[in-house]
Amino acid sequence: DDGAVAVLLSFAGRVVGVRVDRIVSRRDVVIKPLGRSLRDVRGFAGAAELGDEGVTLVLDPAALLEDLLASGRECEEPGDAAR
């Protein structure tokens, strides 16, 4: 057991697990739109202020998964990542 975790995402009627090394924390945040220079970059939902810890970009998992599926690349089957 390497301590990895899967985050489950629901998209277009499918449920997909994304393997992550760890979950650092869970927070409720307000996602604010990105500025003009980053507005059209796919894969980001916006940015969020983390109090005194600064600002972080927030990923848009649906857009990332949509791009992966549209690319024709195959996703790893369960268990492939552990091999």
Mean pLDDT of 52-74: 83
Determine the straight-line distance between the first and last CA of the chain, rounded to whole angstroms. 12
The H or E element that residue 69 is part of is helix 61-71
pTM exceeds cut of 0.95: no
Measured distance CA(74)–CA(22) in Å, rounded: 24
pLDDT digits 0-9 by tens, 6-49:
888 887 787 888 888 888 888 888 999 998 988 888 899 999 99
